[in-house]
Amino acid sequence: MATISIPKPSKAHDLPRRILMSEYFILYLCLFSFALLIPFIPVIATPYNLSNLFSNIWPLFAVAIGQTFVLIIAGIDLSQGAVISLTSVIGAALIAQAVDPVVFSKSPLWGSFLFENGAVLAHSPLGIPIAIGAMLAVGLLIGFFNGVAVSFARIPPFMVTLVSSMFCGALAIFLVKSENIINLPTGFTHIGDDTGFFSAAMIIAVVLAVLAQLVLSRTVFGRWLYAIGTNVRAAVVSGVPTRKVTVFTYMFSGFCAAAASIIYSSRMGMGRPTLGDPLLLDIIGGAVIGGTSLSGGKGKILWTFFGVIFLSLLGNALSLLNVPFFWIEIVKGAVILLAALLDVIRTRIFLRNV
Amino acid sequence: MNNTQRMALPLLKNMPVILFVAIFILFSLLDQRFFAVANFSNIILSSSFVGVVAVGMTFVLLTGGIDLSVGATMYITGAVLAMLLEQGTPLPGAIAAGLIAGTLWGCLNAFLIAKVKIIPFMATLGTLTAGRGLGLLITQSRHIAVPQEMRFGAEKFLGIPLPIVIFALVVLVAYLVLNYTATGRQIYAMGNDPDAAKKAGLNTTRLTATVYIVSGFCAALATVIAISQQGSVSSSFGKGVEFRAIAAAVLGGTSLFGGVGNVFPGTVIGVLLMQMIQNGLIYLQVDLYLQDMITALVIFFAVFIDALRMRLLKRLERRNIRVEKGPGRVKAVEPITS
Amino acid sequence: MVDMILQFVQVSKSFFGVPVLKDITLDIERGHIVGLVGENGAGKSTLMNILGGVVPLDSGQMLFNGQAYTPQDPRDADRAGIAFIHQELNLFTNLSIAENFFINKFPRQGKVPLLNRKQIRAKAQDYLALVDLHVSPDTLVERLSPGERQLVEVAKAISVEASVIIFDEPTTSLTARETERLFDIIARLHTAGKTIIYISHILRDVLELSDEIAVLRDGELVTHGPKSEFTINRMISSMVGRDLEHLYPDRTSRPSAQVALEVKGLSKAGLVHNIDLQLHKGELLGVFGLMGSGRSELAQIIFGLESFDQGQVLINGQASTRLSPPRSIKDSMAFVTENRREEGLLMTATVSDNLGLVALPEYSTRLVNVVKQGALSKAVKETVSTLRIKVNDAFKNQAKGLSGGNQQKVVLGKWLMTNPSILIIDEPTRGVDVGAKYEIYSIIDRIAANGTAVLFISSEIEELMGMCDRIVVMGYGEVLGSFERARFNKEEILRTAFRENGK
């Protein structure tokens, strides 16, 4: 169900259509763009840059995996960025080694979680695992709320996740009065270290990806996802527990965001209430441009991987060209529109073909 | 069960007014100062520019769409306006240029959604990002102050502050368009049933394009008001406005699903309600950061009620097979078995 | 020379290869009321849809006022002066009556683009007076009862000066008083010289209203003549026609005495009332009724897609408390719904994915629910071959590309893969060609022979008579009667369904 059937050869412009509809379209695009950019920015092909590029790709890919699941059931999760921010703050608030009272004495967490000589679990041996567990739990919780609001209250997904995004973002800022919690234990910050190809980030992302793809292609749950995204009414009649599946899907999306947050927070060495804000567009853009459709029923983890690579490559190239920040934003916006346009075209071709 | 559903519906429909009165009473009880007349005019004054954006948003919501890019449109308008003023362009020219810039950005949305058929939230998410970038490009990320002549936010026209006058005018024109023009009524029709609208021969593409252009123009006009009051354009100008506008419209009774809502009293009440809540929270000295959270909860409440109303409506509209026939035509029939 | 306002000349139409109208030649005299009757699927709606520009005809032509009439869409029909009052009304519930009248033709008011509400209201008032509807033209449509809404549609038709008005089952949602009012209006329209086509299954009304009556059966015009030539009996006999033409497989089983499914006093406001039903193992129980009789709704309630207010549903003697599709499937029930394209199939998914959808949990490991792809593929292949589903590669081809009959087999196959002990099928041969029909009948017979209890809902009286052990007739959400096989009689059954069984 995850494969697109190649249309039968019919007209002269068949080759472009076949390329467009191919699973590897975005990969081709990446390689093509990469090759195109090398003469202009030779540094892009250096091992240093490539390793940098990939170390940025892994956590982004991890989040996008969750988004892919949500897109397959024809939903959308706009709250992932805020989940990253909130979980970053919560994790840090549990294990910061030293907290500056001048900065944090007004925070609502002061005296309960944050103390001058460290956060509440700062010196506990189980501190880091508990903090990680808490972050994941919060991600699951927010996902649960999103899922219930979408499947039981029947509020449109974009609205639900927009609201939860706002709420979580505000909550994160509220908890730390807009300040970053620093002084995280080295045990935690090591997670984000760039230990060559097999960094923790890479392992987390790949493990998530493999598990996610296995679920999609090998389990009942995965088949149910595609069924719901294709025709939810037919799925209901066929006995698919659509509401439960929806809730779990959004929970998984929250989980992925939290997992990525672990990597991002450990890399920055701080709990940052605005950590996830700039990421949302990359997440959605990556998933959609890779081929997962906004209208549901279609999607693969590999496609999302290609999409994320493409977007990161684009960002990488732009920053290497020293393009000012606002141009990057303009390009990102254009890319989102392009991704949506591509999706519209592909869907039309897909539906037309028998 | 049907009876409770039928009773719930008018309650849900009048939610804006009920909420308004309820919250007003609540805050007045919590803090006496809230009750003062001065506070009330303050509320309207601070909410004028959001109100104008919300009016534009109402048009879009009536067709079942959404415009997430209004904040970016505001920034572009503000950027053009401020930059031109900085370079010495006369005020009317600068304002006109700003309005045109913002409206053009709305035209981009119109094109992407009505012609290219990208779904509204995705299209406006893209133009939101690109638009912010464009604004930053124009201003080079600077914080630009505007000359004195632009700061007319405190001036009055017939004793009423200008921002409120403009807001009232916008509401008036919007009201006339929505209720007294063919286009306005067709917008409602399309929001209610797009298929029936097409069958009836309405130009749904034109109607869709129109609402996004209106939204862009309103955002641009709101910028003029906002700058006249704030006196400058910072790099975060317009951030978060889309949310407040959507919240105001939905709180005022406009449905996310289309076809339901009005600018007066609906959206106006919604705008005042949002501002009242914000003011009330400030008076109660509620933490600034907590306010955003409360706003999010309020919005959630509004869309929850909206979804509830839509479900009830769908259930009531379902065709019944068994109708109380009453005396007359159809004779009672004995089942036969053989 | 008789003045024919409308002429159908050898009009034919097929859907997905299945002929629905065969060479219809029908002349309609100006100013007459023509009653169009026939069973479900006889072609009445299709013929009117062609007339109204909703679907194109395949061959033949239509003449309107002697001129060739080729509507491309409903607007052309509107412009020509043909108004079609559907069962599904095309009104905007959030607008007022007056606005609905003028939504695409608001009168201009000189230079200013503003509407002249007074003028609009006055004109609307006139139209409402014509249909005797005494409500303010400013009333929102959502406040009107179905009967009043229908009158608004009629008023719309009058307002566009339509010369031909088609009524499609207009009285199903009307109270007795509203029906009387509608008939008064039709009489007035008649006096005003309008031509009216009246489709209804309430034969008494058709007989009373019409000047002439046309009977369709199986896509053919069986008889057409002045009212004086018709009685209700004659209408029913014409609809019934010759004896069983289709071939049905010999039944290879007999129902057992064990009750698999029992329904007691089942009621749901507005849908069904006091339904009592017993379905035995190995039995093929047919449920017949005209459009809108509540059969599909009953099936949905039994399967758990719809809630109920009173009564009980007992499966193998056990009363089911909270019905839902997953529960029903666990209780070994299966439901082939009546619209396979919207509810039965994932059109863009492969045939194999469709076939496996319901039985998936049975072909998965207990932990983690990994799909046992090997076993599943084997079962899929078996199903494809047993049911003789014609497809190149079940694992690659989309369900969309199959013929109607094969699509229906896929839906059946999907449910059969769960080995249900109770199977509810709703219109299994709709839009299916003759050859595939026979195959489907054989499949159903084999299913019953296996001991499965089958509830067979259909609008085709012949296939029910050919296949079933018993037939229950429903109408207006109630059970109107039941017939044992030995007593099967087409006219009697039809009469019961039309509520014309004399009592």
Q: pLDDT grade, residue A78 (50/70/90)?
A: very high
Residue B162 lies in a domain: yes
How far apart are the C-alpha atoms of A227 and A222, rounded to whole Å?
9
| The CATH fold of domain C4-240 | Rossmann fold (3.40.50)
How far apart are the C-alpha atoms of C274 and A165, rounded to whole Å?
50
The CATH number that applies at residue B94 is 1.10.3470
Q: pLDDT grade, residue A69 (50/70/90)?
A: very high
Tokens representing residue C292 in the block: 């809108």
Q: Domain total for chain B?
A: 1
Q: Give yes or no for residue B67 having a pLDDT over 90.
A: yes
According to the model, what pLDDT value does residue B322 have? 67
The one-character DSSP state at A209 is H
Give residue ranges of C with CB < 8 Å to any A CB: 305, 325-326, 328-329, 335, 337, 342-350, 353, 356-358, 360-361, 364, 368-371, 373, 396-398, 400-401, 414
According to the model, what pLDDT value does residue B317 have? 74
Same fold, C4-240 and C259-497: yes
Chains with 3 or more CB pairs closer than 8 angstroms to B?
A, C
Residue B181 lies in a domain: yes
Which amino acid appears at position C502 of this protein? G
Give residue ranges of B with CB < 8 Å to any A CB: 66, 112, 116-119, 121-123, 125-137, 141, 243, 256, 287, 289-293, 295-297, 299-300, 303-304, 306-308, 310-311
User: Is A333 an interface residue toward B (CB < 8 Å)?
Assistant: yes
Contact C169, C196 (CB under 8 A): no
C 118-177 → B contacts, CB under 8 A: 142, 146, 172-177
User: Is C272 an interface residue toward B (CB < 8 Å)?
Assistant: yes
Q: Which residues in C lie closer than 8 A to residue A220 (C-beta atoms)?
A: 360-361, 364, 369-371
CATH superfamily, with its number, for domain C259-497:
P-loop containing nucleotide triphosphate hydrolases (3.40.50.300)
Q: Given an 8 Å threshold on Cβ–Cβ distance, is A221 in contact with C369?
A: yes
According to the model, what pLDDT value does residue C233 have? 83
Contact A284, A67 (CB under 8 A): yes
Chain B residue with CA closest to C298: the answer is: B321
Contact C313, A223 (CB under 8 A): no
Tokens representing residue C32 in the block: 């007459």
User: Is C96 an interface residue toward B (CB < 8 Å)?
Assistant: no
Question: Which of A223, A233, A235 has the CB atom closest to C371's CB atom?
Answer: A223
Burial of residue A51, with CB atoms counted within 10 A of its CB: 0-12 exposed, 13-18 middle, 19 or more buried: middle
Residue B197 lies in a domain: yes
Residue B331 lies in a domain: no
Residue B328 lies in a domain: no
Partners of A324 in beta bridges: none
How far apart are the C-alpha atoms of B200 and A43, rounded to whole Å?
60
User: Is A7 an interface residue toward C (CB < 8 Å)?
Assistant: no
- Per-residue pLDDT tens digits of chain C, which is 503 residues long: 678 889 999 999 988 777 889 999 999 999 999 999 987 777 888 898 899 888 898 999 999 988 899 998 888 888 888 988 887 788 999 999 999 999 988 877 766 778 888 889 998 998 898 888 889 999 999 888 888 888 898 888 887 788 999 998 888 778 888 888 889 889 988 998 999 999 988 888 899 999 999 999 888 899 999 999 998 888 888 887 655 456 788 887 888 888 999 999 999 988 899 999 999 999 999 999 887 788 999 999 999 999 898 999 999 888 887 789 999 999 999 999 988 988 999 999 999 999 999 999 999 888 788 889 899 999 999 999 999 898 889 999 999 888 888 999 999 999 999 999 999 999 998 878 777 888 899 999 999 999 999 999 998 888 899 899 999 999 888 999 999 988 888 888 988 888 776 54
Tokens representing residue C7 in the block: 């002429």
- What's the residue count for chain B? 338
Residue B159 lies in a domain: yes
Distances (CA, A) of C135 to C97, C140, C152, C175, C186: 9, 10, 10, 17, 19
Question: Which of C92, C176, C477 has the CB atom closest to B327's CB atom?
Answer: C176
Chain A residue with CA closest to B306: the answer is: A155
ipTM score of the complex?
0.85
How far apart are the C-alpha atoms of C287 and C471, rounded to whole Å?
6
Contact B105, B216 (CB under 8 A): yes
Find the helix packing angle between A47-72 and A301-320, rounded to 10°.
140
According to the model, what pLDDT value does residue C245 have? 56
- Domains parsed from chain A with CATH numbers: 14-352 (1.10.3470)
Q: How many CB atoms lie within 10 A of CB B291?
A: 17
Question: Which of A174, A331, A333 has the CB atom closest to B127's CB atom?
Answer: A333
- CA C166 remoteness from chain centre: 18
Residue B323 lies in a domain: no
Q: Given an 8 Å threshold on Cβ–Cβ distance, is A238 in contact with C357?
A: yes
How far apart are the C-alpha atoms of A134 and C43, rounded to whole Å?
65
Question: Which of B185, B321, B335 has the CB atom closest to C95's CB atom?
Answer: B185
Contact C160, C83 (CB under 8 A): yes
Q: Which residues in B lie closer than 8 A to residue C273 (C-beta atoms)?
A: 322
C269–chain B nearest CA distance, Å: 8
| For range B61-66, the mean pLDDT | 96
Q: Which residues in A lie closer than 8 A to residue C337 (C-beta atoms)?
A: 237
Q: Given an 8 Å threshold on Cβ–Cβ distance, is C103 in contact with B326?
A: no
H or E segment at B74?
Answer: helix B70-86
Tokens representing residue A61 in the block: 């890919």
How far apart are the C-alpha atoms of B122 and B115, rounded to whole Å?
14
Q: Each residue of B151-165: pLDDT tens digit?
A: 887 888 888 888 999
H or E segment at C158?
Answer: helix C146-159
Contact C487, C470 (CB under 8 A): no
Question: Which of B117, B123, B303 has the CB atom closest to A337's CB atom?
Answer: B123
Q: Could you give the 3-state DSSP secondary structure of residue A14? A: helix
Q: Each residue of B236-265: pLDDT tens digit?
A: 898 889 988 998 999 899 999 999 999 988
How far apart are the C-alpha atoms of B245 and B242, rounded to whole Å?
5
Q: Each residue of A165-216: pLDDT tens digit?
A: 999 999 999 999 888 988 888 888 888 887 777 888 899 999 999 999 999 9
Domain of residue B299 covers 2-309
Per-domain boundaries in chain C: 4-240, 259-497
Helices (H) and strands (E) in chain A, counts: 15, 2
How far apart are the C-alpha atoms of A320 and A314, rounded to whole Å?
10
Which amino acid appears at position C368 of this protein? V
Tokens representing residue B281 in the block: 């929270």
Contact C334, C420 (CB under 8 A): yes
Q: pLDDT grade, residue B211 (50/70/90)?
A: very high
